[in-house]
Structure 1
Amino acid sequence: MTTTSENTRSAASSPGAAEAGPSPVRRRGKVLEHAIFEAVLDELVSSGYAMLSMEAVATRAQTGKASLYRRWGSREALVLDALQALLPEAGPAPDTGELRADLLELVRRMRATMLSVPGRAGRVIMSELDHERGAPFAGLMHERVIRPGKDLLRELLVRGVVRGDVRPGAVGAPLLLDVVPAVLLYRAKMVGPPTDAEMVVLVDEVLLPMVRA
């Protein structure tokens, strides 16, 4: 006669039991939301905005489409929320006590943001959409990436003026503050992702000659 314990051991050792594995964990709230946001940006980077669909996001996030439609009424709203949530924060201005080192740290930080998944996703959107349809995304990228970077650069220049490293007129030159994001975006679009060596050249051969006292 086969005992209950033998039946249990037999079932546990059968091929079907070995393949079943643990049941998936049910995610809710912020955990599920974060998984959805990550899936949105991954889909943008891999497939582009034109091919982005709620179905593709749900599949990548391993959730149901209903979870998306309950929270977001449109693809645009979902993408805006994903970028808003996952774009890196600018952080405080570098303060090494030396202008060149501060500028290097800042441009490297801006480069890292641009090359991050949220930064790449933002660039994908802006390259695909015209001015009118891309306006909400452009506004968000300016508010979260471009403007904070320019504000930090201005802070470094003001500090440099106090130390005597920077000419006072450099602080109030709007186009000077545009140089770093303009170079980064141009290089990324026309040449390829800017390298760290190019960041050194940007500081030594462009920024410093433009701002020195």
Structure 2
Amino acid sequence: MSSTADTTRSRRRGAELEHALYEATLDELAEVGYGRLTMEGVAARARTGKAAVYRRWSTRQALVLDALRHALPALPGFDPQIPARENLRAVFTVLCQLLAGETSFPGLPVIAGLLGDPVLRQAFVEAIVRPRLLVIESILGHAEETGEIEPGTLTPMAVQTGPALIMQACLLTGNPPTPQDIDRIVDSVLPVGRRDPLRTR
């Protein structure tokens, strides 16, 4: 190995080195999948020694968990000043981008390879699925309180329907839903005939 490479390795410490290791882990996940990911492979991609990895993480599971947390995109909120339909469309659009791999977080094909590990599956649920369900629940709850949608629209099934249909589309087609598909998914949560009862009063 050249002295230049040795110098590059020795100069990176602390947060800079950790960032490089996180990026290397995400790149390895995308290229070889969780099943073939190794600590040595991550170290080589990050151009550092494997001791730098093992000092921070004792297992690849712990390394991957921290890398996923590092890559988490911002959680979308909702604007109480705009209709529930528009809020849902915005949340569903961001979820599509996330599952399609259009953010730094691994897309659904990579995530699917992690779901066989119970700890990583639970981490995915807690970090990605559950927070977005809570946002959807807040959107529907606020819309019920203001009379924008009919009482009873907020149900566990209504909250789960949008993300479930988005993930199904990604799994079955390999592509995220189109904007037109997202409109139809919103319709499944807020049926067109019920979406604005204030107009009929």
CA contact (8 A) 1:40 1:57 kept: yes
> What is the aligned counterpart of 1:94 among 79, 90, 94?
79
Secondary structure, counterpart of 2:34 in structure 1:
coil
Write the distance in 1 (CA, Å) between the matches of 2:113 and 2:190: 31
User: Which residue does the alignment assign to 2:178?
Assistant: 196
CA contact (8 A) 2:99 2:176 kept: no
Secondary structure, counterpart of 1:94 in structure 2:
coil
Secondary structure, counterpart of 1:62 in structure 2:
coil
Residues 48-87 of structure 1 aligned to structure 2 (within 5 Å): 48-87=33-72
Write the distance in 2 (CA, Å) between the matches of 1:170 and 1:42: 42
Alignment partner of 1:29 is 2:14? yes
User: Which residue does the alignment assign to 1:118?
Assistant: 105
Write the distance in 2 (CA, Å) between the matches of 1:129 and 1:98: 35
Write the distance in 1 (CA, Å) between the matches of 2:167 and 2:132: 13
TM-score by length of 2: 0.82
Q: Can you list the C-alpha shifts for 1:13-71, whole angstroms capped at 9, x where unaligned?
A: xxxxxxx8xx6372111111111111111111121111111121112212111110111
Q: Which runs of 4+ in 1 moved over 4 A?
A: none
Q: Which amino acid aligns with 1:154?
A: E
Query: Cα offset for 1:162?
Result: 2.5
TM-score by length of 1: 0.78
Q: 1:179 to 1:99 in 2, by over 3 A?
A: same
Write the distance in 2 (CA, Å) between the matches of 1:178 and 1:47: 31
Query: Cα offset for 1:128?
Result: 5.6
Q: 1:96 to 1:195 in 2, by over 3 A?
A: farther
CA contact (8 A) 1:99 1:156 kept: yes
CA contact (8 A) 2:166 2:177 kept: no
Alignment partner of 1:148 is 2:123? no
Q: 1:96 to 1:56 in 2, by over 3 A?
A: farther
Q: What percent identity do the matched residue pairs reach?
A: 33
Residues 130-141 of structure 1 aligned to structure 2 (within 5 Å): 130=116, 134-141=117-124
CA contact (8 A) 1:54 1:68 kept: yes
CA contact (8 A) 1:87 1:119 kept: no
- Any gaps of 5 or more consecutive residues in structure 2? none
Query: Cα offset for 1:129?
Result: 4.9
Query: Cα offset for 1:125?
Result: 4.3
Secondary structure, counterpart of 2:36 in structure 1:
coil
Query: Cα offset for 1:96?
Result: 4.4
Report which of the two structures shows the higher radius of gyration computed on alpha carbons: 1
- Any gaps of 5 or more consecutive residues in structure 1? 1-19
Q: 1:79 to 1:209 in 2, by over 3 A?
A: same
